[in-house]
Structure 1
Amino acid sequence: MTQLGATVTRDGIRFAAWSSSARRLWVSIFDEQGNRELDRLELQPEGEGVHAVFVPGPASGTRYGFRADGDYAPERGLWFDPDKLLTDPYAVEIDRPYAYHWRLAARRNEGADTAPLMPKTLAKALPEAVPVLPPLFRPGGLIYEVPVRAFTKLHPDIAPAQRGTIAALAHPVIIEHLQRLGVSAVELMPVTASIDERHLSPLGLRNAWGYNPVTFMALDPRLAPGGLRELRDTVAALRKAGIATILDLVFNHTGESDRLGPTLSLRGLDNQTYYRHQPDGRLVNDTGTGNTVACDHPAVRDMVLDTLRHFVCNAGVDGFRFDLAPVLGRVDGVFDPAAPLLAAIAGDPMLADRVLVAEPWDIGPDGYQLGNFPPRFLEWNDRYRDDARRFWRGDAGAAGTLATRLAGSSDVFGRAGQPASRTVNFIAAHDGMTLADLVAYERKHNQDNGEQNRDGHNDNLSWNNGAEGETESAAIVKARFDDQCALLATLFASRGTIMLTAGDEFGRSQKGNNNAYAQDNAVTWLDWAGRDQALERYASALGMLRRTVPALSDIDFLTGQSADASGVPDVAWLSETGMPLAETDWNDPARHRLVMILGDAGGDRLAVMINGDRRQCVFTLPVREGFRWQPAIETQAIDLARPLPGRSVRFMAEHRTEKSQPALGQSDAKTTGSRRTAKGRARKGS
């Protein structure tokens, strides 16, 4: 496709935009402050929707915007208005953040020129492309979800001017924290420039998450005051520390919103093409934000691919997470895993080895597509989230389902005979209650969002160890701490890729707000000074365990069979007595205890003992001659002869006590029985 956007050369700048239905297009060039329009030059049609003009003389750093004219008939999806200055869809840098103003949404001839209200695109020569290196991240690792601004806004060891920026992520104190946790990849929540929803400003609120972009490549100046170079330098610093970078990108909608929304870029250039519409001309709203990007249109498909290539070539990122990803796979409104855009992403030579993560749901028809994305895509697994919460909340009959989730969710991801799981397991994410709030609030508390607590999910599968509003006794504090430890241990013991949201490792709270997108304040800013250091140490110990025990980070489905000549099965499911779980045990609604024994290639074993009951219990593990069980985490130095406390998880590793080993087939009866049970459980999809 012809290069779009601003191409800077030694002789001047070529400006190019795409529109299938605009009658006229212009580029407006502004002074160095972006306040005064110096010139307005018409772009000429070059065929296939491309309009371009070469302007001799201007240098890198020139500020500009596009304008378009044509029919104005919003009822038919036509919004052409030359008084609306439009951001270049291919912009890679803008000179200031977006700020909502009612004039941006004014109808044609009802408002003045919007140039004074709009950021200007900076025409800049891109730096030399970075070497495209193989991604550091491999499935099975730990993804750490980071809200860039909130993450370091209150960090005492980072200079105030750098707090809340992408550059702060490269600070040694941050890298050290990530390494202690065993983070494989940071997943940056949206860092491209976004605009606040129109209802927030009157409430004195701002969008804190960034899931409301205007265009797809330009970084938000508040997060990246150093522009693209700031991102690439941070990616390089993280890579040097062994940590990959994944960008969370929003291609499903833009901040132009519904018919009452502002005209900022795509709407003014070619609304009918860039957004999906109903037959009667109304915008499709499969996203819940007012509009839905038409990802099945070739022009949009090219723009998405160009965006991904841009961040790989010019920033060196390892991969991408796609928000409301079914939109990317909708063809004529129907999700298709073989959709041209999904196929193009997976098959593009520059993107072929990148990490691809899908959020596999939107709110459109048949929008829940967990397990249905192409094999290249990892998928957020909300069934894991909900089933883990149900077990630790104490719901009846949750033990068998938890085992299925611990084993990689083959019922979801093994449907087509796939040998490995594509799950991304998580307990909490940016959207919903924090890990600490899950165990402290039975109900959401979103009053600060200004919507009378109507927003956000109502069914959080959360619980409260004590009455809300009650003075927190030592017992309540301990119970909440124990439950957080249990949830973290479950996550780190789960087969497949796992995800932890920044701050959950040290007890961050949003005071029960489960939809804190509008809280760009202390509600979402991480409290580093007040963090729970004991919980953080435990999370770090779990990270170390996961890094050192291959069976924990494997992604192959558990089968109950031996992977090598050791004869040790990859999994055995036992009761607290050390005996194989029978069918009646799996179907017992009162069962809240189980043991998962994982076997590594080579014959090593790790026992994960789970006591979801509130009562303590003595757990018994099967013994092999020449081996003994020892705590796998130093902070859990327990004696197997002593009861395991209620609401807890313990890890025991099997270590050799003698050089000689029993011959294959001479393991004790308990181990042999466990192997048979694992095989039976594997057939049930666990």
Structure 2
Amino acid sequence: MSPQQWSALGERAQVWPGREWPLGATWKPDCTNFAVYAPHASRVHLCLFDESDRETRHELTERTLGIWHGALPDIRPGQRYGYRVDGPWDPGNGFRFNPHKLLLDPYGLATSGTIIPEQPIYGAREDDPGVRDETDSAAYTARSVVVDPSFDWEDDRRIARRWRDTVIYELHVKGFTKLHDRVPERLRGTYAGLADPAVTSYLRDLGVTAVELLPVQQFFSEPALLERDLANYWGYNTISYFAPDASYSSAGDRGGQVDDFKRMVKALHREGIEVILDVVYNHTAEAGPDGPTLSFRGLDDRGFYKRVIPEEGGFDDRYWDVTGCGNTVDAWNPLALRLILDSLRYWVTEMHVDGFRFDLMSALTRTGYEVDFACALLIAIDQDPILRHVKLIAEPWDVSMDGYLVGKMPPPWAEWNDKYRGTVRDFWRGAAPIHAVATRLAGSSDLYADDGRSASNSINFVTAHDGFTVRDLVSYDGKHNEANGEEGRDGTDDNRSWNHGVEGETDDAGIVALRRRQAANLMATLCLSNGVPMITAGDERGRTQGGNNNAYCQDNEISWLDWRPDDAWLDVYEVTKAALRLRREHPALRQRHWFEGHPTIPGGPKDLAWLHPSGRLMRGPDWGDGGLRTLGMFMSGSPLREPGPQGEQRVDASFLLWFNAADHAVEVDLPDNDWVRVGDVVLSTDPDVPEGARVEAGTSLRLGARTVVVVRSA
């Protein structure tokens, strides 16, 4: 039947049968197809909203394999819509259908509006959770938006940079530019602000090759936070997995956020910077059973969320929560799995992102209760012709004891390596065994060398969004989270920090100088370790959160990056930039393979040698010396691909790195051998050992207390 024939049947017949795929709202000039999965529903209404927010309902009568679908003519991009879904109200059996609650489309490409923390957004009555609340929620919740997906990408394409050449910079879209004086005011805090040349040039000049964006899939703040006049700043409370969060849009929330995001990716790619998304598929913003009904709970609550497994069969409606957020998405459920995979492919193919960091990945690997590396999600990603070629990073834990999987994710996954974080923090406060330090500097072979992975599977970091900044790490012994309103119960107490004598900011010049040197030591160590460095935005210039180590709800100056030079630690910036330049220019500092302790070229030195301050190689007993705080790391230059002028094999420079975490100066003897006869200091946090200083084999070098010195063969 033609569109004209359908139109002649009257308004009620405007819904054409449509088709069950693709899920979501698929716009074309002649009609828009709507398809939503609700396998146990009895009725589904598509609800359209005009500019006056007046609602028009259209019943979807076609149902195929649990998917309700229909198509409507004369729908334009920017049209706001949602669903009302009826069916059994039987919480004890996992059915929470409530047609009085407007639901977001799980496949919606954009979202308009927000949620208001009032009773109508909840599916059950506050006074009796077992009774369905019949107050309409439309005035208190958001709508999905029909989007025209066309966009002129020009010649943009994936960068596909090798892992060993990658430097990750974790940042918050809003917080990075909200206070940036060189970004136009109307663009600050937006995708467009991040695309501004003042920002992209800063990242390029620093040496960043990839930005890892804190969650940008549409999220909402928890009602409890909103009631306290706070907000979920970090964004780990996702509800629409295809929609870029509208609060970061400079182009409105009627689909403009999609183009805004694409323009940002395009601008970053032009500067050679990849875009990695921090994605939160392990739980949703609907929280526990008493949380808001926004989408999945009203469509397929029984199938989408993991439940407690009853001991004697049957069904238990209690949510099984290993995320700490009230629910856990059941990635074993076929439609939940399909949504995750479809979402990932969408962000790669349509939004041109280069990879993903999976929040609480362990929660998604579970078959039943057990962690299962043969789970459907890992297998599906590994065989997917699109997803298996992008950057894949796991946060390899959840909130359970058995979910801690650092070093255990299967190839090709890279991992956040928190063992690196803990060891490096301990070393620079004088509390790490020297053998553990060496293992982390060399790429954590104890974690990644036994299954075909390389040091590049270790994402090294000393800070992340969750915890102290580097400046706070050297300025506070304990957390100061008073602004969060949780009486200090939130945030970790395992900070491994040191205030150097005074808690918090101080005018003591000596303490400030020591803190800045320690911050530079941490950044230099991170940038020169084998593995992939991840820098938290602002650490390179001394960003502080005033000692707050859990600023998830601080959408304000506590979290935003302060770009004023007045209080910036620009000396730390220069050290970070220099270390990243050395890493970029010299393959010896970003190894392709594991160190093996033998020459890389015939007659040459070992690829890696550990040096005692006395100038000799480290011996067995040295590794157990609990008082040793000084270590030399020699890395020989690797053969270069490009031959010399006469066709000879050229070799990259070799490097000798000295790390002195002792609280006193140490005289180190430089080995008298053919490894490095003469070298130049190319990086130093020691004011008495300037860059450019020349050193020779067989002499000694005085390392100041708590310093890093890097020597390159001349």
1:567 counterpart residue number: 604
Deviation at 1:302, TM superposition (A): 1.0
Matched, 1:124 2:147: yes
1:180 counterpart residue number: 205
Matched, 1:296 2:346: no
Matched, 1:644 2:703: yes
The letter for the 2-side match of 1:205 is: L
Moved more, 192-201 or 631-640: 631-640
Of 54, 64, 78, which aligns to 1:36? 54
Matched, 1:345 2:381: yes
Aligned ranges for residues 307-386 of structure 1 at < 5 Å? 307-364=343-400, 366-386=402-422
The letter for the 2-side match of 1:137 is: R
Residues 510 and 419 of structure 1, relative CA distance in 2, 3 Å threshold = closer
Query: Is the 8 Å Cα contact of residues 305 and 329 (structure 2) preserved in structure 1?
Result: yes
Aligned equivalents of 1:132 and 1:276: distance in 2? 40
1:159 counterpart residue number: 184
Of 624, 631, 636, which aligns to 2:681? 631
Matched, 1:113 2:140: no
Deviation at 1:623, TM superposition (A): 4.2
Moved more, 468-477 or 131-140: 131-140
Aligned ranges for residues 605-624 of structure 1 at < 5 Å? 605-624=654-673
Query: Is the 8 Å Cα contact of residues 63 and 120 (structure 1) preserved in structure 2?
Result: yes
Of 229, 233, 238, which aligns to 2:259? 229
2:32 counterpart residue number: 13
Deviation at 1:184, TM superposition (A): 1.1
Instruction: Please list every run of 5 or more consecutive structure 2 residues that lacks an aligned counterpart in the other structure.
Output: 1-19, 125-130, 252-256, 310-315, 640-650, 685-689
Query: Is the 8 Å Cα contact of residues 135 and 353 (structure 1) preserved in structure 2?
Result: no
2:430 counterpart residue number: 394
Matched, 1:653 2:712: yes
Of 216, 225, 232, which aligns to 1:200? 225
Query: Is the 8 Å Cα contact of residues 137 and 355 (structure 1) preserved in structure 2?
Result: no
2:41 counterpart residue number: 22
CA deviations 1:15-45 (Å, max 9, x no partner) are 1100221111111011035x110x2112234
Deviation at 1:246, TM superposition (A): 0.6
Residues 407 and 67 of structure 1, relative CA distance in 2, 3 Å threshold = same
CA deviations 1:202-248 (Å, max 9, x no partner) are 32211110110112111111112431111111111111111111111
Aligned equivalents of 2:148 and 2:203: distance in 1? 34
Deviation at 1:102, TM superposition (A): 3.2
2:174 counterpart residue number: 149
The letter for the 2-side match of 1:178 is: L
Residues 506 and 315 of structure 1, relative CA distance in 2, 3 Å threshold = same
Residues 447 and 252 of structure 1, relative CA distance in 2, 3 Å threshold = same
For residue 618 of structure 1, give the secondary structure of its aligned residue in structure 2.
Answer: strand
Aligned ranges for residues 279-294 of structure 1 at < 5 Å? 279=309, 280-294=316-330
Q: Please, what is the CA RMSD of the aligned residues?
A: 1.9
Aligned equivalents of 1:486 and 1:432: distance in 2? 19
For residue 459 of structure 2, give the secondary structure of its aligned residue in structure 1.
Answer: strand
For residue 40 of structure 1, give the secondary structure of its aligned residue in structure 2.
Answer: strand
For residue 568 of structure 1, give the secondary structure of its aligned residue in structure 2.
Answer: coil
Aligned equivalents of 1:319 and 1:135: distance in 2? 11
Of 534, 538, 547, which aligns to 1:503? 538
Moved more, 271-280 or 197-206: 197-206
Query: Is the 8 Å Cα contact of residues 91 and 215 (structure 1) preserved in structure 2?
Result: yes
Moved more, 66-75 or 414-423: 414-423
1:52 counterpart residue number: 69
Deviation at 1:546, TM superposition (A): 1.1
Instruction: Please list every run of 5 or more consecutive structure 1 residues that lacks an aligned counterpart in the other structure.
Output: 656-686
Aligned equivalents of 2:386 and 2:710: distance in 1? 41
Query: Across the two proteins, how many residue pairs are aligned to each other?
Result: 652
The letter for the 1-side match of 2:691 is: Q
Moved more, 254-263 or 413-422: 413-422
1:662 counterpart residue number: none
For residue 85 of structure 2, give the secondary structure of its aligned residue in structure 1.
Answer: strand
Matched, 1:492 2:527: yes
Query: Is the 8 Å Cα contact of residues 156 and 266 (structure 2) preserved in structure 1?
Result: no
Aligned equivalents of 2:578 and 2:115: distance in 1? 42
Query: Is the 8 Å Cα contact of residues 397 and 405 (structure 2) preserved in structure 1?
Result: yes
1:135 counterpart residue number: 159
Query: Is the 8 Å Cα contact of residues 169 and 175 (structure 1) preserved in structure 2?
Result: yes
Deviation at 1:339, TM superposition (A): 1.4
Deviation at 1:417, TM superposition (A): 5.1
Aligned ranges for residues 74-113 of structure 1 at < 5 Å? 74-107=91-124, 109-113=132-136
Q: Share of identical aligned residues, percent?
A: 39
Query: Is the 8 Å Cα contact of residues 178 and 189 (structure 2) preserved in structure 1?
Result: yes
Deviation at 1:545, TM superposition (A): 1.2
Query: Is the 8 Å Cα contact of residues 89 and 132 (structure 2) preserved in structure 1?
Result: no
Query: Is the 8 Å Cα contact of residues 631 and 637 (structure 1) preserved in structure 2?
Result: yes
For residue 46 of structure 1, give the secondary structure of its aligned residue in structure 2.
Answer: strand
For residue 632 of structure 1, give the secondary structure of its aligned residue in structure 2.
Answer: strand
Aligned equivalents of 2:172 and 2:436: distance in 1? 31
1:551 counterpart residue number: 588
Residues 516 and 458 of structure 1, relative CA distance in 2, 3 Å threshold = same
For residue 349 of structure 2, give the secondary structure of its aligned residue in structure 1.
Answer: helix
Deviation at 1:469, TM superposition (A): 5.8
For residue 619 of structure 1, give the secondary structure of its aligned residue in structure 2.
Answer: strand
For residue 344 of structure 1, give the secondary structure of its aligned residue in structure 2.
Answer: helix
Of 16, 19, 23, which aligns to 1:4? 23
For residue 215 of structure 1, give the secondary structure of its aligned residue in structure 2.
Answer: strand
Deviation at 1:653, TM superposition (A): 0.3
CA deviations 1:316-345 (Å, max 9, x no partner) are 111111111112221223211221111211
Query: Is the 8 Å Cα contact of residues 618 and 644 (structure 1) preserved in structure 2?
Result: yes
Deviation at 1:366, TM superposition (A): 1.4
Of 518, 524, 528, which aligns to 2:563? 528
The letter for the 2-side match of 1:497 is: V
Matched, 1:244 2:274: yes
The letter for the 2-side match of 1:305 is: L
CA deviations 1:102-155 (Å, max 9, x no partner) are 321251653521111222211122115857834333212210001111111100
Residues 622 and 233 of structure 1, relative CA distance in 2, 3 Å threshold = same
Deviation at 1:7, TM superposition (A): 1.3
Moved more, 353-362 or 44-53: 44-53
Query: Is the 8 Å Cα contact of residues 63 and 123 (structure 1) preserved in structure 2?
Result: yes
Deviation at 1:564, TM superposition (A): 2.8
Aligned equivalents of 1:512 and 1:434: distance in 2? 8
Query: Is the 8 Å Cα contact of residues 439 and 483 (structure 1) preserved in structure 2?
Result: yes
Query: Is the 8 Å Cα contact of residues 373 and 409 (structure 2) preserved in structure 1?
Result: yes
2:307 counterpart residue number: 277
2:298 counterpart residue number: 268
The letter for the 2-side match of 1:550 is: P
Matched, 1:449 2:484: yes
Deviation at 1:517, TM superposition (A): 0.1
Deviation at 1:566, TM superposition (A): 5.1
Aligned equivalents of 2:560 and 2:504: distance in 1? 23
The letter for the 2-side match of 1:339 is: C
Deviation at 1:430, TM superposition (A): 0.2
For residue 161 of structure 1, give the secondary structure of its aligned residue in structure 2.
Answer: helix
CA deviations 1:568-616 (Å, max 9, x no partner) are 2210000112111111111000011100001121353101101010101
2:10 counterpart residue number: none
Aligned equivalents of 1:254 and 1:225: distance in 2? 25
Aligned equivalents of 1:218 and 1:181: distance in 2? 30
